[in-house]
Amino acid sequence: MRRTVKDTEESARKVRRRAFLMGSAMGAFVAVLGARMRFLSVEQADEFRLLAEENRVNIRLIPPNRGQIHDRNGKLIAGNEQNYRVVITREEAGDVEHVLRRLAAIVPLSEDEIARTLRESERRSSFVPIIVADRLSWTDFSKIALNAPSLPGVTPEVGLSRIYPLDTDFAHVVGYVGPVSEKDLAGMESPDPVLQIPKFQIGKIGVERWREDALRGRAGQKRIEVNHVGRVMRELGRIEGDPGDDLRLTIDAEIQNFTQVRLGEESAAVVAMDVETGDLLSIVSSPSFDPNLFVRGISQKDYSSLMENDHRPLADKTVQGVYPPGSTFKMVTALAALEAGVVGTGSGVYCPGYYELGGRRFACWKRGGHGTLSLNEALAQSCDVYFYETAVKVGIDKIAEMGRKLGLGIKHDLPMSAIAAGVMPDKAWKMESYGQEWRIGDTVNASIGQGYVLTSPLQLAVMTARLASGRSVVPRLVRGVGTDDMPIPEAPPLDIPAEYLNAARKGMYEVMNGARGTAKSSRIVDPTMVMAGKTGTAQVHSYGTGERDNKLLPWHLRDHALFVCYAPYDKPKVAVSVVVEHGGGGSAVAAPIGRDVLLRCLTGGIPPLAAYPEAQRARIETQFKEMKLRDIADPVPGRSRA
């Protein structure tokens, strides 16, 4: 059927109308698309350029160089050394095991190291480098570099690692560093991003830990270009970080070494302190350990030997160890009695060899008794009964108050680990700790540094320095940070009358120099360095009949030997405290050590034989010749860099 002209025209109009509508719709779509494209490419160009850059460029942290630690004279205690290591990248190596076998033919590489590296490479992304071996020698490092073309994916690297050149001498003071652990991070409110760097090390104990923020420094940054899977293509630039601050300690490295060697294999602690500034000249816990073992990764065998040693080499006895102070505490009781007015400097107390209280006898160390003694004589001969009787009259609260005034029962603020406060007991303390009333018998025991009284060697050194100076000196370990010296706090005078302090000092003088002094054999005969001191023997075992001889007891049941001293007597400079665990008598064991350390501090070298009684000089000379002292190098200039 043929279409009419009218039908044809109608159909053409419909087509034109539909084409117009479609064209309009397409035009509108193109206009919207163009506007959107203009918005994205022009108005938001900067934002998308930044997003693209972030996909292409990564920012990575550069570990800062750790600050060094020096002694008071600039000698290096903790530094940084170049560390040669080799890493492998699985993506570049291909057959990792095959490459490791070839590497093992060039440098020593154990089966365990190969297996560990293979396990690690499977856990990590293919482009992440894996450390194969650490602390390589220069010879092995050079061999790897020369054979690099035949070792695909293997790269020799140079970094910095912590080293302690004086190892055992400063292990307890300085401590050591180790890899950041989850426990470390959990204890921080806002961890430094640099701590996320694999194998980054921080201080674990000692000064390394408590001065971590100063020693760590601030990380640098480097901009690297990566591809779509995150593989590094090239380095675009870097900003170096700030190295950590160097620290200078108050300790003299040579005195520290002398003290360490002098203690030998004893389980002991010695603290030497400047009585004017509070500077710790030496603070030694024996036996010690090598902190370098922990930095490098200590073996189970080495760690077990340290843990199983009954002399506890890992414990810092100078600040962590607390001991009954024994008769070294008698100056505290004496000063409390003088201040309370219950005795005078010349008044006497009769000692029959025991003190009877409530039907119980508290024995004096001298079974036959001392007779009537003045305060000076009681200190010189260390009569127990004198202090039993005066302590009961004074009361424990006033004795405790005097002890705290002299630095006992206080946690002193030093950058060292696990500092103990000790125990300076009073009536309130016993009620709070045990829910019991204080008894007079407790006062009797406390009067001679037994019972509940516990002190650290550091506290005993502080007590002695305060007695010697008459001021409330505080111990100080850090002398300077960076190029700045730390201020020396001004020590206020002790709130103790000078005449009472002089009485205590006179008693300590008689201990060393009196005809019946308990430490007369350890006196200094040089008139310019005459010392005052006090011996102590702290009982750790309840004796049965016939057991009094320490030498017949197992080592761990023997008495502790203690000694405190200062010199010169007329113008005090240095105070020393000594504790020898289970050493026996303070006069026989601890006093000779204290004298040697004191002379070493005062003379600046090996103690002169002329300072010793003539009859002892041959023995002392032999002793010093047999001491294997460390040859401590001069200060190392500059900072080790990679």
pLDDT at position 139 is: 87
Provide the pLDDT confidence category of residue 128 given band limits of 50, 70 and 90. Answer: low
Please give the mean pLDDT across all residues of the chain.
87
Highest mean predicted confidence (pLDDT) among 87-101, 131-145, 508-522, 547-561: 508-522
**Rounded average pLDDT over 288-293:** 94
Provide the pLDDT confidence category of residue 578 given band limits of 50, 70 and 90. Answer: very high
- Helix boundaries (H) for 526-565: none
pTM above 0.95, yes or no: no
Domain 60-249 maps to which CATH number in 3.30.70.20, 3.40.50.2300, 3.10.129.10, 3.90.1310.10?
Answer: 3.90.1310.10
Provide the pLDDT confidence category of residue 635 given band limits of 50, 70 and 90. Answer: very low
Which helix (DSSP H) or strand (DSSP E) does residue 139 occupy?
A: helix 138-146
Q: For residue 477, what is the DSSP state?
A: -
**Least confident range of 38-52, 57-71, 395-409, 417-431:** 38-52
**Rounded average pLDDT over 133-160:** 82
Please give the C-alpha separations between residue 79 and each of 180, 197, 210, in angstroms, as whole numbers: 19, 21, 17
Which helix (DSSP H) or strand (DSSP E) does residue 368 occupy?
A: none
**Rounded average pLDDT over 294-314:** 89
Active site residue 327: yes
In 3D space, the residue among 91, 122, 130, 133 whose CA is nearest the CA of residue 232 turns out to be 91
Joined tokens for residue 553:
């007891």
What contacts 571, CB < 8 A, 6 or more positions away? none
Helix (H, G, I), strand (E, B) or coil at 576: strand
Provide the pLDDT confidence category of residue 545 given band limits of 50, 70 and 90. Answer: very low
Highest mean predicted confidence (pLDDT) among 186-190, 197-201, 504-508: 504-508
Provide the pLDDT confidence category of residue 45 given band limits of 50, 70 and 90. Answer: low
Express each pLDDT in 157-194 by its tens digit.
777 889 999 999 999 999 999 888 778 887 777 778 77
Alpha-carbon span 448 to 388, nearest angstrom: 7
Catalytic residue among 161, 282, 327, 469: 327
**Rounded average pLDDT over 487-508:** 94
Share of the chain above pLDDT 90, in %: 57
Provide the pLDDT confidence category of residue 155 given band limits of 50, 70 and 90. Answer: confident
- Helix boundaries (H) for 189-299: 206-210, 212-216, 253-263, 292-296
Query: CA-based diameter of the chain, in Å?
Result: 155
pLDDT at 1 exceeding the cut of 60: no
Could you tell me which residues are beta bridge partners of residue 69? 78, 247
Share of the chain above pLDDT 70, in %: 89
**Rounded average pLDDT over 370-385:** 93
pLDDT at position 198 is: 60
In 3D space, the residue among 17, 74, 112 whose CA is nearest the CA of residue 252 turns out to be 74
Alpha-carbon span 622 to 411, nearest angstrom: 40
Domain 253-296+315-479+494-626: what homologous superfamily?
Answer: DD-peptidase/beta-lactamase superfamily (3.40.710.10)
Provide the pLDDT confidence category of residue 41 given band limits of 50, 70 and 90. Answer: low
pLDDT at 289 exceeding the cut of 50: yes
**Domains of the chain by residue range:** 60-249, 253-296+315-479+494-626
Task: Judge if 60-249 and 253-296+315-479+494-626 fold alike in CATH terms.
Answer: no
pLDDT at 112 exceeding the cut of 90: no
